[in-house]
Copies of this chain bind each other. A is one copy, B any other.
Amino acid sequence: MHKNNHTIGQLADRTGIKPVTIRYYEKIGLLPEATRSESGYRLYSDTDHFRLLFIRRSRALGFSLGDIRELLSLADSQQESCAGVDAKVEQQLEQVRSRLKDLRAMEQELKRLSACCAGGVIMDCRIIETLSCEA
């Protein structure tokens, strides 16, 4: 089926994940231990390739490695309901929305700060003052 014929560097090029990070994922058990060449080099198959892409894509959506570990194990149990997966996505959506809310508030506040700097010396700078006070 899948031949184990890519070195870690090749896998890195194909997935955009650095070798050192791939080894790290193996170490924490996100990736299975790679088979080795005679000289001890790690060798990877297309299955590994897909798994890494899955990880990268999930990371890009803001899932933690812990989340991804769960998603991967869910993905491996093909017969079970996908409610768990859906729940994880929903939960992540919640988190992203909450962060969006905070960031939007930050943006407003920074805009306000930036607008109120009159360009004088620090003694008169409203920014420091504003940041020191409750408001």
Contacts and interface: CB of A to CB of B under 8 A. Distances in A.
Interface residues of A, number: 52
Contact of A100 (B53, B107, B109): B107
Contacts of A117: 82, 85-86, 89
Interface in A107-129: 107, 109-111, 113-114, 117, 119-125, 127-128
A77 interface: yes
B89 A50 contact: no
Nearest to A61: B106
Copies in the complex: 2
A30 to B, nearest CB: 14
A44 to B, nearest CB: 15
4 nearest A-B pairs in the assembled complex, by CB-CB distance: A82-B125, A78-B123, A86-B117, A93-B110
Interface of A: 50-51, 53-54, 57-58, 60-62, 71, 74-75, 77-83, 85-86, 89-90, 92-93, 96-97, 99-100, 103-104, 106-107, 109-111, 113-114, 117, 119-125, 127-128, 131-134
